Amino acid sequence: MVSIRDLQKVFPVPGGQTVALKDANLSIQKGEFISLIGPSGCGKTTLLRLMADLEQPTGGELLIAGRTADEARRERQYGYVFQAPALMEWRTVLKNVLLPLEVMNVPGDRVGRAREMLKLVGLEKFERNYPWQLSGGMQQRVSIARALAFDPPLLFMDEPFGALDEITREHLNLELLRLWRETGKTVIFVTHSIPEAVFLSTRVVVMTARPGRIEGIVDIDLPHPRSDDTREDPRFFTHATEIRELLKKGHA
Ligand SMILES: Nc1ncnc2c1ncn2[C@@H]1O[C@H](COP(=O)(O)OP(=O)(O)OP(=O)(O)O)[C@@H](O)[C@H]1O
C-alpha cells in the first residue's frame, strides 16, 4: 500500500536548512495499522504530509498503492484526520461529513453515504447537531467520518486524540480498532504515546530527531480483537519497553 525508499525532506530556513526526514525506508502492506512515534520535531507530520502529497520530497521515492503521491491524492486513495477536528461551526454534523462529497461533486446518494459514515463512528443520532454542541471526542469522530466519506483504502491520522483526556482516548482507541477491523483500511497513525502505539498497531515505526530518521520498527505481537485486557498482557509491557529503548537510543 505504501512504499518508501531513501525518502528525504529538507526545508530551507533562514541561514541554512532543516533536514526534517533523512533516508526513510518503509514498506506498508494493505490492512496494516502503523503508528509513527518519536520526539517533537522528528518528522512524523512531515512523513505523513509527504505521503498525502501536501509536501514534495527532496529525495528518494514514494509510492502509494503503486501510484505517485500526486496520483493517489487525485484518485482519493486516502483520508486525512488532523490533530484538531477542523469542523465548520456553521454546518451541522451531517453537512460537515457531506462537505468533501459536495466539493468533489460525487454522484449518487451523498446523504446516504454520509449517514453510513456517521453510523460507523456511532454518531448517527447527532447528525443535526452543530460541532460546538459536541464533546472534543465526538468532534474528532465526526472528522474521522468525514475522512472516510470517499471510502479511501488508506487513512492518515496525525495525533487525532492528543488533546483528549485519557479515558476518552482509550475509548476512541477501541472504537478506531473496531472501525479498522470492520472496514479493512490501512491506517497510518502519528502519536506521542507509547501505550497508544502498542495498543493500536500491527507495527510501530520509531523515529528520532535531527535529522529525522527511522530508528527501528517494532512488530506488535498481541492478539486481535484487542480489549482492555490487552493492556495487562505481559507482551504489552515488553513492546512498550522495546519502543522506549529505541527512543532513548535515538535521543542519545
Ligand atoms: N514548512 C516548514 N519549513 C521549515 N521547517 C519545517 C517545516 N515543516 C516542518 N519543519 C521542520 O521539520 C522538522 C520536523 O517537523 P515535523 O512537524 O514533521 O515534526 P513532528 O515529529 O511531527 O513534530 P511534533 O511531534 O511536534 O508534531 C522540525 O524541525 C520542523 O521545525
* CA distance linking residue 207 with residue 216, whole number of Å: 7
Residue 128 lies in a domain: no
105: cell is: 461533486
Minimum CA distance residue for ligand 1 atom 6: 11
Q: In this structure, how many other beta carbons lie within 10 angstroms of the beta carbon of residue 234? A: 7
Domain of residue 14 covers 2-77+152-251
Q: Which atom of ligand 1 is nearest to the CA of 207?
A: 21
Residue 56 lies in a domain: yes
Rounded-to-5 percentages of helix, strand, coil across the chain: 40, 25, 35
Residue 122 lies in a domain: no
Interface predicted TM-score of the whole assembly (ipTM), two decimals? 0.96
The confidence score (pLDDT) of residue 186 equals 96
Residues 86, 127 contacting (CB under 8 angstroms) = no
Residue 119 lies in a domain: no
The confidence score (pLDDT) of residue 23 equals 92
The confidence score (pLDDT) of residue 162 equals 85
Measured in Å, residue 151 CA sits from the centre of ligand 1 at: 29
Measured in Å, residue 11 CA sits from the centre of ligand 1 at: 9
Residues 232, 220 contacting (CB under 8 angstroms) = no
Say what the pTM is: 0.93
The confidence score (pLDDT) of residue 105 equals 87
Low-confidence ranges of the chain (pLDDT < 50): none
Which letter, b or e, does each residue of 51-84 get, where b requires 16 or more Cβ atoms within 10 Å of its Cβ?
A: bbbebebbebebbbbeeebeebbeebbbbbbeee
Minimum CA distance residue for ligand 1 atom 7: 11
| Residue 205, beta-bridge partner list | 36, 217
Measured in Å, residue 57 CA sits from the centre of ligand 1 at: 14
The confidence score (pLDDT) of residue 212 equals 87
Residue 10 lies in a domain: yes
The confidence score (pLDDT) of residue 64 equals 95
Measured in Å, residue 51 CA sits from the centre of ligand 1 at: 15
Residue 134 lies in a domain: no
The confidence score (pLDDT) of residue 151 equals 87
Q: In Å, how far from its chain's centre is CA 171? A: 17
Domain count, the chain: 1
Residue 173 lies in a domain: yes
DSSP state at residue 158 = E
Residue 170 lies in a domain: yes
CATH number for the domain that contains residue 199: 3.40.50.300
* CA distance linking residue 54 with residue 70, whole number of Å: 9
The confidence score (pLDDT) of residue 84 equals 87
